[in-house]
């Protein structure tokens, strides 16, 4: 069974595009560390809300990805652009289209 994580974060007003750019910089290397899906989206109704959907080989793969130097660097760059409002939900992926 794969591990899934759905999260949201709120950018400071006017900073959403910059945060999204940071989140998308390292996507090419994610597959090599066990990521099957990494989708970054923007709310249609909230100009500051960013949504992220992830599917990983396992929770361990996800957790290890957060320890990579490039991930830590991206988080450090994005944090000042965020309000600190985060929400997330973990799940076990049971199946579906494209999974």
What's the CATH code of the domain at 21?
3.30.70.100
Whether 20 is covered by a domain: the verdict is: yes
Range of the domain at 16: 2-92
**Domain count across the chain:** 1
Assigned domain for 99 exists? no
SS3 label, residue 97: coil
Instruction: Say what the pLDDT of residue 29 is.
Output: 87
- The answer to whether the CB of 3 falls within 8 A of the CB of 59 is yes
Residue 98 lies in a domain: no
Q: What is the pLDDT of residue 83?
A: 98
Cβ 63 vs Cβ 5: under 8 Å: no
pLDDT means over runs of 10, the chain (99 residues): 96 98 92 96 98 98 95 96 98 92
Asked if 11 contacts 84 with a C-beta cutoff of 8 angstroms, the reply is no
pLDDT for 95: 92
Rounded CA-CA distance 69/9 in Å is 21
Element (H, E) at 55: strand 49-56
**79 lies in some domain:** yes
Where does 1-99 have alpha helices with state H? 16-25, 27-30, 59-65, 69-78
Q: What per-residue confidence (pLDDT) applies to 71?
A: 94
């Amino acid at each position: 069974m794969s591990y899934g994580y759905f999260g949201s974060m709120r950018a400071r007003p006017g900073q959403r595009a910059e945060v999204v750019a940071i989140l998308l910089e390292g996507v090419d290397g994610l597959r090599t560390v066990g990521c099957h899906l990494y989708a970054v989206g923007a709310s249609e109704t909230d100009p500051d809300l960013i949504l992220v959907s992830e599917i990983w080989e396992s929770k361990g793969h996800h957790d290890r990805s957060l320890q990579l130097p490039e991930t830590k660097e991206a988080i450090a760059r994005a944090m000042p652009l965020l309000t600190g409002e985060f929400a997330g939900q973990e799940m076990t992926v049971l199946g579906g289209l494209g999974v």
